[in-house]
Structure 1
Amino acid sequence: MEDVISLSVGEPDFHTPWHIREAGIESLEKGRTRYTPNRGFIQLRQEVSSFLSRHYGVEYEPESQVLITVGGSEAIDLCVRSLITPGDEVLIPEPSFVCYVPIAQMAGGVPVTIETGPENGFKLTAKELEAHITERTKLLIMPYPNNPTGAVMEREELLKIARVVEKHNLLVLSDEIYAALTYTQEGHICFSSLPGMMERTIVVNGFSKAHSMTGWRLGYAAGPREIISLMVKLHQFAIMSAPTTSQYAAIEALKNGDDDMAYMRGQYDMRRRLIVDGLNEIGLKCFEPKGAFYVFPSVKSTGLTSDEFCERLIYSKQVAVVPGSAFGPCGEGFVRISYCYSVKHITEALSRIRAFLEEL
């Protein structure tokens, strides 16, 4: 379609910072194009360990507790396949990233979704978690900061979850790909930093969002050495190793990229306030997200389903957003709008959405 403004994809509009690209280019120019160790370059694993330590206060041994993967998505898949046997239940708060449920199913697991809603900021509560645990429950996925809602869990809320996890001897996959894009005063709390959680948590993170490196396809997992060693087995047979050029670029990103992260976070924060205020002003009720780069406004006042709203909006006003139902049944009645786009795009999109609502 012509003249479409897409606020649908969760991909930063920033170029990968030049010094990071330059490190990748230099590696190619010097012919550094061979396989890396299965776990990833030790230099990169050391930088990952250093990054997690200085930002989130967690300590991992680079040699045995860190694995470099092809994006955070591979890390999620490896973790689930390493831990789940047929019939094991995987608890997944929803709305959430679209891959969790099918990855659990492909591993032979049984996904058990836990609905969250705007009344509590789309956060998982200890009470709801407890209510969904059975003798078959093996793994809890913690998707915070959250895609699609932008919800963030605070320390006191996480401590209550941790107590339930410990009580029932669960394992936790903490998907923290948006950790660097947290806008609260407290900042991001890494789940493995909580008392008793280091030995039962696999932290997944990567470079796509915080460093604007989506196409480089690089992520990592950090966790107990016994679990990481299982993930390495699957990784080495299915993938061999993550891209060599990307790893050289990632070393530079972690060593010298903190200022880039801070700048981009500041820009996203400004856009976040712009779009939340704009949506509420034109009549789409929107709770304030505290992380990632998504808003999740309700469209129930229009009388349209999520699919109907998105389809009619794109055909009549050429604005693309995502139906909330794509992220689980409890997302029905909402739409996901990404604000990792320019202020010009966001402002024009808000103007078109206003016109759309006025015509309904």
Structure 2
Amino acid sequence: MEHRIARKLARIERSATMALADQARSLKESGRKVVNLAGGDPYFTTPGHIMDAARGALNEGFTHYTSSRGLPELRVAVADHLRHRFGVTRDPAHEIVITPSAKHAVFVSLMAVLDPGDEVLIPTPSWVSYGQMVRLAGAEPVSVPLRADDGFTLSRELLEAKLTRKTTAIVLNSPTNPTGRVLNASELRDVADFSAAHDLVIISDEIYEQIVFDENRHHSPSEYLECAERTLTVSGFSKSYAMTGWRLGYVSGPQSLMNAVLKVQEHSVGEAGSFIQRGGVAALTGDQSPVRRMVEQYNRHREWAHAALRQVPGVECALPEGAFYIFPDVSGLGFGDSYSCAQWLIEEAGVVVTPGSAFGPGGEGHIRLSLAASTATLKAGVSQLCGALSTFN
């Protein structure tokens, strides 16, 4: 029987990272020994005080609907976090919505501001789902390719080159998946001036905000006066608090935009899980030392993997500034394209990585490795990968 499928889905691709995760699971189930360095799931256990809060909520029967905006106490905690970390003031009653994952926060934000035919600027390489979400909203993603030889630097000149009368919004991600770049003050000033000049909405995905290294510091575009009333700031708990399976995030912004976000939330998932939100309160208001320890471990992983990859002839590799990925350039090895390299590594080294082409223009020629695996898994995978690449002719 032939079923009718929505025409818009013909232009939607599967998530490359989720497809690779499925492939890694299938290989393991078939008995193949593989090391999965393609995913973004921290190996750490969620901190105990967060799990205790959720268990306490379950034990007291706190398992029913909440407001679609989210628990008042969690919205207050988010508002306090934004104020203390960025100096940004958001009204927890009207300018914050708790979502089931930061991914859904990006989705409801795009759905709230886009009409069919709109165009959205996306600096690339970028996370695989941004463009597909834009298409699901009926709009068109427009890549703003960044160059590895320029350190994946974003500029107003690059943004202006892609501007049309249909441009409505820009999606930012810093610290950046997959490159590990942290946008600096000059780049954010360019974004602020550009967005204000052309009256664009900024959707700023800051899910890796707490994972930065060395002297780098994460800044939010909402810190800029001209951006405060045009920015939807997305973040969540998955990466910093090792809460990927909890599916908990949030979006904040000016009330006029948040009213639209709330409508999408109400008519899609309704709200985030009640007891899960209790865990979120504990995450933001409780002991932050587990976060610091995780970042310290990611830093050790970053430095070790960077040193190892730089020893492979023909591989170029920048030191990530934030997030927990490393994005080596393997174009000098002669694979032809990054997908061929990734498939070869599965077959020859038993290591699963993500091809750079999955992240759009600017990503080809690279592969992405996750630093979020355990130390033993990371060292085994990188050692096998480097050994195999060193022998490739």
**How high is the TM-score relative to the length of structure 1?**
0.98
Contact 1:123 1:152 in 2 (8 A): no
Give the corresponding residue for 1:294. Answer: 325
Give the corresponding residue for 1:316. Answer: 348
* Distance in 2 separating the partners of 1:257 and 1:196: 34
Corresponding pairs, count: 360
2:221 counterpart of 1:191: yes
Return 280-289 or 21-30, whichever deviates more.
280-289
Superposed CA deviations along residues 7-43 of structure 1, whole A, max 9, x for unmatched, are 1101111010011001101110111111011100000
Superposed CA deviations along residues 245-281 of structure 1, whole A, max 9, x for unmatched, are 1100000000014222111111111111111111011
Give the corresponding residue for 1:334. Answer: 366
Contact 2:212 2:321 in 1 (8 A): yes
Give the corresponding residue for 2:301. Answer: 271
Give the corresponding residue for 1:97. Answer: 127
Contact 1:24 1:248 in 2 (8 A): yes
Structure 1 stretches lacking a partner, 5+ long? none
Superposed CA deviations along residues 23-66 of structure 1, whole A, max 9, x for unmatched, are 10111011111101110000000000111111222111100000
2:384 counterpart of 1:346: no
* Distance in 1 separating the partners of 2:384 and 2:265: 46
SS at match of 1:112: strand
* Distance in 2 separating the partners of 1:79 and 1:354: 40
Contact 2:114 2:168 in 1 (8 A): yes
* Distance in 2 separating the partners of 1:309 and 1:14: 29
* Distance in 2 separating the partners of 1:156 and 1:246: 38
* Distance in 2 separating the partners of 1:108 and 1:225: 24
* Distance in 1 separating the partners of 2:42 and 2:130: 22
1:215 CA displacement: 0.4
Give the corresponding residue for 1:145. Answer: 175
Superposed CA deviations along residues 155-180 of structure 1, whole A, max 9, x for unmatched, are 12211221111111111000000111
* Distance in 1 separating the partners of 2:322 and 2:295: 10
| CA separation of 1:186 and 1:328: change in aligned 2, threshold 3 A | closer
* Distance in 2 separating the partners of 1:287 and 1:357: 17
2:280 counterpart of 1:250: yes
2:266 counterpart of 1:222: no
Contact 2:120 2:140 in 1 (8 A): yes
Q: Residue type matched to 2:182 in 1? A: V
* Distance in 1 separating the partners of 2:216 and 2:349: 39
Q: Which runs of 4+ in 1 moved over 4 A?
A: none
Q: Residue type matched to 1:273 in 2? A: E
SS at match of 2:56: helix
Contact 2:125 2:363 in 1 (8 A): yes
Contact 1:56 1:188 in 2 (8 A): no
Superposed CA deviations along residues 272-293 of structure 1, whole A, max 9, x for unmatched, are 1111111011232111110100
Give the corresponding residue for 2:338. Answer: 306
Q: Residue type matched to 2:322 in 1? A: G
Match of 2:73 among 43, 51, 54: 43
* Distance in 1 separating the partners of 2:387 and 2:287: 41
Superposed CA deviations along residues 102-143 of structure 1, whole A, max 9, x for unmatched, are 111111111111101212221321110111111111100011
Q: Residue type matched to 2:367 in 1? A: V
* Distance in 1 separating the partners of 2:342 and 2:60: 48
1:184 CA displacement: 4.2
